[in-house]
Amino acid sequence: MNLTRRSLLVSAGAAAATAAFPAAVTAQVAGSHWFAGVADDSGFQYRLTNFNTVKPQWRRQMVKYLSPEPPGTIVIDTRNHFLYWIWENNTALRYGVGVGREGFQWFGYARVDRKALWPRWVPPQEMRERQPDLPELVEGGAADNPLGPRALYLHRDGRDLGYRIHGTLEPWSIGSDVSSGCIRMFPEDVVDLYQRTPKGTRALVLEHLGAPARNIEAG
Amino acid sequence: MKSVLIAGRAAGPALALLIATFAAGCASVGGLVTPEVTNAPAPGFESVSRGSEEDFIMSVGRRTYFPEGSYALDDTAKRTLDAQAAWLESHPRWYVKLQGHADDPGSTERNQRLSQRRADAVMAYLASKGVDKERMWSKGYARERLVRDCPDIDCKAQNRRVVSNLRRSRDDDGD
């Protein structure tokens, strides 16, 4: 969820990036092979992912699902970087995700009580303390808004947990531990999930599939 | 074949089991069988070809959702239906049965009416986007087919829906 060094460098300019970081990182900053054109969406635009570059396991796919969670549930396996949208007949639509850098700090049940198109981003106070350069607010639809085209807000007992399922500007981060506690998806995938999950959908965040479903608060 | 059966009977359960195993093996020839474990490809989705039902399910989505007691289409529902209409235009061989569902306050009759109205609202919207009315029909199922049954919004939000079900012919009403 936070602006990483990479994305800050994008705004600082590619020249600085070339000077300061190894070739692998600057290749991602240039990033052309990660993208495949642009999608128009409700008055704004996002960069389409070049899925030929993405490892097959992170692409959206229909899989068998034999765990006990019922249909109509979002299940997030934070260790293995998968988000499942559970269907009937022991199947699920599976998406690759990126999750919290410091290890995910909370687990358990939540509910999608709010959904937003082109959400504005307000970095939480503790994030701004760590990264004083962060803006107070990035408008929805802005090219540097790290949430991308959609956000699903996770609540518990009517309270905003402060965690969201959202898009990303960094498709290479899907499948790894990157953000600080949020769940990021390819922009195409978060748009897709937004359409498939009504407000009121239950979400379950697990350390990994098969782990106990305990409610653990962030510290 | 007859001699095999006789031999099977004569040799007892072991050979019968062997024959049964062989038959099961034969049945899987030509179809990819994936293991019964989470993350194995779901049957039919091992490779999805454009214009197939699996393509519709994966790249468009069949479900449109509704708020409590309502058959009005919100912006999200319209975006799903816009995508459905575009796909149906590209793949004119398919027919669509619109299956309306409800899990809303009130009697069974009221849920029946609401589920039918939801299906009809979806059909009217798809027609307004250019899908030939001859390719579509609708049916309301009230609370007969719940995704999940519980008194909370977690369940009810899933149940208040219309499923756009692809069919190969106008006569294929299925269930």
Q: Specify the pLDDT at position A139.
A: 96
pLDDT reported for residue A192: 98
Residue B57: which of A70, A82, A195, A199 has the closest Cα?
A: A195
- A93 touching B, CB under 8 A? yes
* Assigned token pair, A13: 């300019």
Specify the pTM: 0.84
The average pLDDT across A35-42 equals 95
Q: Where are the alpha helices (DSSP H) in B75-107?
A: 75-90
Q: What is the CA radius of gyration of chain A?
A: 17
| Per-residue DSSP letter, A181 | S
Contact B41 A61 (CB under 8 A): yes
Place of tokens 């609708």: B138
Of A62, A192, A209, the CB nearest to B45: A62
Cβ distance B148 to A72 less than 8 Å, yes or no, reads yes
User: What does the block give as tokens for B168?
Assistant: 């190969």
Residues of chain B with confidence (pLDDT) below 70: 1-32, 175
CB B76 within 8 A of CB A195: yes
Q: How far apart are CA A216 and CA B28, in angstroms?
A: 45
- Judged by CB atoms closer than 8 Å, whether chains meet at B39 and A64 is answered as yes
Percentages helix, strand, coil for chain A (3-state, rounded to 5) are 20, 35, 45
- Nearest C-alpha neighbor of A20 from the set A34, A12, A128: A12
Residues of A in Cβ contact (< 8 Å) with B158: 71-72, 198, 201
Question: How confident is the model over A170-208, as pLDDT tens digits?
Answer: 999 999 988 666 899 999 999 999 999 999 999 999 989
At A215, list the tokens.
Answer: 């409610």
What is the ipTM, given to two decimal places?
0.83
Which among A57-61, A107-111, A133-137, A179-183 has the top mean pLDDT? A57-61
Min distance B130 CA to chain A CA atoms (Å): 21
Strand ranges across the sheet with A183-184 = A61-64, A91-96, A82-87, A73-77, A202-206, A108-117, A150-156, A159-166, A183-184
Put simply, the answer to whether B153 touches A209 (Cβ < 8 Å) is: no
Residue A26 has what pLDDT? 45
What per-residue confidence (pLDDT) applies to B171? 81
For residue B147, give the nearest of A71, A115, A199 by CB distance: A71
Predicted confidence at residue A163, as pLDDT, reads 87
Task: Give which of B38, B147, B164 to mutate to test A binding, by max A Cβ within 10 Å.
Answer: B38
Q: A82: which strand partners?
A: A77, A96
User: Quick check: is A166 catalytic?
Assistant: yes
pLDDT at position B175, please?
Answer: 67
Residue to mutate among A58, A63, A111, with most B CBs inside 10 A, is A63
- CB-CB under 8 Å, A202 with B154: yes
A75: pLDDT strictly greater than 50: yes
B-chain residues near A94 (CB < 8 A): 39
Q: Report the residue of chain B nearest A58, measured CA to CA.
A: B39
Interchain contact, A198 vs B34, CB within 8 Å? no
User: Which tops the pLDDT comparison, B108 or A219?
Assistant: B108
Label residue A217 by pLDDT band (50, 70, 90). low
**Arithmetic mean of pLDDT, A68-82:** 95
**Closest chain A CA to residue B44:** A62
Considering only CB atoms, which chain A residues are within 8 Å of B155?
A: 72
Q: What is the pLDDT of residue B102?
A: 98
Q: For chain A, say whether B42 makes contact (Cβ under 8 Å).
A: yes
Which two structure tokens, joined as six digits, stand for A76?
A: 């997030």
pLDDT at position A17 is 36
Decide: helix, strand or coil at residue A78.
coil
Distances, alpha carbon A202 to alpha carbons A111, B155, B157, in Å: 4, 8, 10
Selected residue of B37, B55, B56, B76 to mutate for chain A interface (largest A Cβ count, 10 A): B76
Give yes or no: A33 in active site. Answer: no
